[in-house]
Amino acid sequence: MNGQEAGPHQGLAKKIENREALIGIIGLGYVGLPLAHAVHGAGYRILGFDVAAGKVAMFNQGVSPIGSVSSEALGHMTVDGRFQATADFTRLNEPDIILICVPTPLNTHREPDMTYIVNSVEAIAKCLRPGQLVVLESTTYPGTTDEVMRPVLEHGGLVSGRDFYLAYSPEREDPGNPEYKTSGIPKVVGGDGEVALQLACDFYSGFVPSVVPVSNTATAEAVKLMENIFRSVNIALVNELKHVYGRMGINIWEVIEAAKTKPFGFMPFYPGPGLGGHCIPIDPFYLTWKAREYDVPTRFIELAGEINSRAPYQVIDRLVRELSDRKAKSARDARILMLGVAYKKNVEDMRESPALVLMQELEDRGARVDYYDPFVPELAQTRAHPRLAGRPSVEWHLDNFCGRYDVALICTDHDGIDYDGLVGAIDLVIDTRNATKGVKLGRNRIVLA
């Protein structure tokens, strides 16, 4: 930081250089805990904050609730004394760098729910001291860092860029993808001023392959939204093409496999029963909400959202039609085995999973629905589907499935499932993920939906 005026940033820069900075992480979930693991690997000490005292106790005992950070890895972090979790937010004056990794859901009107960010920032403001760097990693709309966070943090008299430093660096987690861990993904960083940007870049460069600085925090916030809107729009396209090609008797999965052999100008996206996870179903609406402030329509983004939101109901329509045509049976009192409730394969994360929509809608029509998911032994409490909470996964017994279920509905294509056995045991299989592509016998039992 040659040429910069003297200030508290110089002491922080030295601590970053020597790995002496204490790193505070607010929110130890699917983003915060993998981030803590990566930061620990760079040699830093971490103080993790979480509102759930029960989870804090688990963390300090080395028990991890998520698959991307094993209990063994978390145990190493706690044993060497460089990781500690706490529910005491009055300790936010201790870290030199504070990373905010809290949820940013939508409310019932599909508007941004900033409660978790605001609560975190207010807790920081009560303890804020000169020389601290505060970085928001949660996905949000452009302007959040500058318009929401900075006024709260400056309310006590400290000034951003002079007394403390503020930055935004969006998380880029991909749960269940072993190829890309936190420490292997480039980091986009925007700062509130040059000093904040430099401090944040120096910090992140210690444990990611490259840092991508942008001109300000709003640009960094926009980058994250663009990444997920890109995915949402393209998934909506293939979900629509699935129905168009289906009416023509063309297999969309075969079309995609052939199209992706083109070495340029094409990127494969795949249809499914709807969007899940905490990013793609939610993030586009953060931009559509903010765009209204500028009187700018976002028709393309909203259309994609509508198509993806309809996907579960189109699956239900197909299931009902096949039950009627193949088995002369209605959905009422039909016995359905749902395969997979996690939002994507090989993870335990069921946030915003379309499987929950499918389960509740089918039961509303009178069906009896069980589920099997080796990663989700019991359905967690969710805001949108509270009545499903606590329901257990059935055990995998193909012999017991024979004659017990009218239809199997594959929602999540987990690896390690005996799809050949499933098709042999249940004489109608609705496959929304092409999970049965390798099944040779009983193809007549399978419906791609």
- Would you name the residues annotated as active-site residues? 279
Give the H/E segment covering residue 33: helix 32-41
For residue 188, the cross-strand partners are: 212
- How many CB atoms sit inside 10 A of residue 14's CB? 12
Please report where in the chains the tokens 């660096």 appear, as a residue. Answer: 169
For residue 134, the cross-strand partners are: 98, 166
Burial of 290: CB neighbours in 10 Å, binned 0-12, 13-18, 19+: buried
Contact 104, 114 (CB under 8 A): yes
With CA atoms as reference, report the closest residue to 27 among 153, 132, 171. 171
Beta-carbon contacts of residue 328 (< 8 Å; ≥ 6 apart): none
The encoded tokens of residue 248 equal: 């023509």
For residue 133, the cross-strand partners are: 97, 165
Q: What's the 3-state SS for 158-208? A: CCECCCEEEEECCCCCCCCCCCCCHHHCCEEEEECCHHHHHHHHHHHCCCC
For residue 135, the cross-strand partners are: 99, 167
Q: Which amino acid belongs to residue 254?
A: E
- Phi and psi, residue 28, nearest 5°: -110, 55
With CA atoms as reference, report the closest residue to 142 among 190, 197, 86. 190
The encoded tokens of residue 155 equal: 């309310």
